[in-house]
Chains A and B, each alone.
Chain A
Amino acid sequence: MTEASAGPPPVAEALPPEAAEEVAQVRASVAEVLDEQADLRRTHELMVGAQGHDPRLHELLTAELGLLGLVVPEHLGGLGLDVSAATAVIEELGARLVPGALATSLTAILAARALGPSAEPLLARVVAEQLTLASALAEDGAGWDLGQTATRATGTGDEWALTGTKTLVAGVEAARVVLVTARDGDGELGVHAVDLAADGVDVRTHMTLDQTRRLSTVHLREAAATRVDAPGGEGARVLLDHVRAMLALESAAAARACLDRTVEYLKVREQFGRPIGSFQALKHRCADLAVAVAGARATADHLVTTLRTGAATRSHDAALAKLVCTDTLMTVAAEAIQLHGGIGFTFEHDAHLFFKRGKSAQLLAGSPAAVRAEVAALAGL
């Protein structure tokens, strides 16, 4: 079992003040852009459109703000900032339910960074070619159970060809390269980079229950690929853990935003001659949500520390945070609809966006039941 002791984090785990300041600046400048250009009114328009996201905003955040190179090491052409700079951006995107491919791209970049030297050529390309990445793990039937991955990789060294079908891939509609889990002739799982423009690659993007997040099916037939993880390693697991981390961070931030909005409404909405937020029945429910949100925040923060420091508990912490944070968003968003009353049931209101996002976060990268079983196994219960 994991040691039930901790105490305050040792000083070595804390971010040095200058690095923390850099992260705070990144967060603030991204928040400013998003507040201006990606409020939920805009999301309402985008999510029913053909593309489902705002390519101009993506261009602004990547080409102008340079966010794709944020955590890419300096010797590969990036800014070399701490991991928490990228996770801060993911949180800011998540808090506003911004549709698009930036969070998924930063997630794949963080995973590639964690993969070590074998992924350095890819990271160098990310900066040089301003590549937006995505990650494709799930397959029909197997879901996110890595052990059941059926996509085949044939080849050796740098030259590989992938065949198989990946489902429920987020962000790939706006990406140029997708990281794909596949199994070689010896049955070993690896992570491969596939250019989406290559021959044998076919992407079908679907309308989705969570309209803020389009999902695609990626068909690969002898598609050219390069391997990005080291043979014999746990690259696929690293990728899955990072995808879960993204969902956790987005959800913790979205849950907080959803609760804040709901509380503000309860302060101004009057019935029976008084703000409905003065009724104890509603107050107590909000208090329970606040406790859940605080717990999700703490769990997500702990996960960021784990990712930053490369701690061995990564898989456990990512699974646990994914479970806690997405369940929290689902609970908060469901309550938000109820606490808003009739207006919360309308399409024009924002409550359903959080509700739908909560469900997609809960079900992507492993269902709650599957992830709970994984947590139990990883914790040695």
Chain B
Amino acid sequence: MATDAAQATGAPVSDEQFRAEIRGWLHDALTGPFAEAVGTGGEGREHEAHELRREWERHLGRAGWIGLGWPTEYGGRPATLAQQVIYHEEYARAGAPGRLGHMSEQLLGPTLLAFGTPEQKARFLPGITSGEDIWCQGYSEPDAGSDLAGVRTRAERRGDSYVITGQKVWTSLAHLADWCFVLCRTDPDSTRHAGLSYLLVPMDQPGVTVRPITQLTGTSEFNEVFFDGAVAAVEHRVGAEGEGWKVAMGTLGFERGVSTLGQQIGFRRRLDAVIARAHENGAWQEPALRDRLVEAYIGLEVMRHSAVRLLASAGAGLSGLEASISKLQWATWNRSLGELAVDVEGAGALLTGPGYELDDAQTHFLFSRANTIYGGSNEIQRNIIAERLLGLPR
């Protein structure tokens, strides 16, 4: 796994040097050519500053900040687990833009490192670490949401290719992505988890149509993707034919570990902003609101201690179970903070811009409803915890 590789290589710099380096680099970049990118592209802001953020990916890649802990032969950079955490912390603290490459780096990269052939690694990982290739994830379908094993998108083998027919949904970044990693059914007679394969599909081809979904925020970060005779090369199948479920599940949640503390710094910035606003407009003087604000602070502290504890004990990444606990915690917490942000504003939060432009509190309030649905809904996480952690019967 990626982090093992890094630890085996040994990091050439101390944690303090590493922190100073990334901090200085981010400062230079974000006060210089990318000043306008600061704060763009976060949750509920995926629609912002695409061109600049695409360039930002390349800038990150050129400086060697993508693929920390990955083998250097693929453009990775040696970094210990602690340094990967530091990178995410500094990234969040600097207010650097939301990553267009996060699915490339956090989901596909580890999957290829774990399951890819040497040829696939050599073909695809450098495009990720250079920031050149943007990937999207083709898992969910209209009839396969929480029940992902219900995938029906069909891939039919024809010589050296697969021909793909079907529909994916909730595909973030599909309109910008160069590639999509797609879970599809290669055995037409199979059901459920068997008979699925994991294919790497180029987005720029006639058989692929992307249609944005307008969300309750009025903006679009997600898309529907229609495959109608789209083609993927057989050599771009990750894992054996019919083993796609194992590949897709193998790395779900794997990389969350190192990014969790960085994510929490983002949460802390939001919480601080809401508390500052409450002091400014007098909401802090309302005992009920103040109580909720303090509870939010306490909830974030609990998540921080949980993350530190897991990182200290787990070494490399989180198990699926720990990822479920962490997802349930942060999704629920962030959704509550979104509600609180609007309650702190009071009735003033009812006014938007002329084109339904939303401020931070409004965006947080509305977009955070997605947190407890995507990536495994709260209900699915509870099933996983109840059955696999507590051992309750099915």
- In the assembled complex, the Cα of A302 lies from the Cα of B295 at a distance in Å of 18
Q: Is A288 interfacial (CB-CB < 8 Å)? A: yes
Which among A277, A287, A295, A373 is the interface contact of B302 at CB below 8 angstroms? A295
Q: Is A4 interfacial (CB-CB < 8 Å)? A: yes
Which among A14, A275, A283 is the interface contact of B386 at CB below 8 angstroms? A283
Find residues 280-312 in chain B having any chain A CB closer than 8 Å to their own CB: 290-291, 293-295, 297-298, 300-306, 308-309, 311-312
Q: Is B12 interfacial (CB-CB < 8 Å)? A: no
In the complex, which residues of chain A have a beta carbon less than 8 angstroms from the beta carbon of B392?
Answer: 263, 266-267, 277-278, 282-283, 286
In the complex, which residues of chain B have a beta carbon less than 8 angstroms from the beta carbon of A372?
Answer: 291, 294-295, 298
- What is the interface of chain B, defined by CB distance below 8 A to chain A? 15, 81-82, 85-86, 89, 93, 261, 264-265, 268, 272, 275, 290-291, 293-295, 297-298, 300-306, 308-309, 311-312, 325, 328-329, 379, 381-383, 385-387, 389-394
In the complex, which residues of chain A have a beta carbon less than 8 angstroms from the beta carbon of B303?
Answer: 295
Main secondary structure of the interface of A (DSSP, over half): helix
Instruction: Write the nearest CB–CB distance from A378 to chain B, whole angstroms.
Output: 11
In the complex, which residues of chain B have a beta carbon less than 8 angstroms from the beta carbon of A1?
Answer: 272
Binds B, one of A5-13, A47-55, A93-101, A136-144: A5-13
Q: Is A294 interfacial (CB-CB < 8 Å)? A: yes
Do A375 and B298 form a contact, CB below 8 Å, given A5-B89, A8-B311, A275-B393?
yes
- In the assembled complex, the Cα of A287 lies from the Cα of B392 at a distance in Å of 10
Q: Between A and B, how many residue pairs show CB distances below 8 Å?
A: 124
Instruction: Write the nearest CB–CB distance from A375 to chain B, whole angstroms.
Output: 6
- What is the interface of chain A, defined by CB distance below 8 A to chain B? 1, 4-9, 14, 263, 266-267, 274-275, 277-278, 280, 282-284, 286-288, 290-291, 294-299, 301-302, 320, 323-324, 369, 372-373, 375-376, 379, 381
Q: Which 6 residue pairs are nearest across A and B when measured between Cβ atoms?
A: A283-B386, A4-B268, A287-B382, A287-B385, A298-B305, A298-B306
A-B contact pairs, 10 of them (CB 8 A): A4-B265, A7-B311, A274-B393, A287-B390, A320-B301, A323-B298, A372-B291, A375-B294, A375-B298, A381-B293
Interface contact B385-A7, CB-CB below 8 Å: no
Main secondary structure of the interface of B (DSSP, over half): helix
Do A284 and B89 form a contact, CB below 8 Å, given A263-B392, A291-B329?
no
Taking each of A7, A369, A376, A379, which has the highest tally of chain B beta carbons within 10 Å of its own beta carbon?
A: A7
Interface contact B294-A286, CB-CB below 8 Å: no
In the complex, which residues of chain A have a beta carbon less than 8 angstroms from the beta carbon of B328?
Answer: 287-288, 291
Interface contact B82-A7, CB-CB below 8 Å: yes
- In the assembled complex, the Cα of A7 lies from the Cα of B81 at a distance in Å of 9
Do A263 and B264 form a contact, CB below 8 Å, given A8-B82, A8-B311, A294-B306?
no
Extra contacts, 14 of them, besides A283-B382, A295-B306, A299-B301 (Cβ < 8 A), are A5-B89, A263-B391, A284-B382, A287-B328, A287-B390, A291-B328, A295-B302, A295-B305, A298-B309, A299-B305, A301-B309, A372-B291, A372-B295, A375-B297
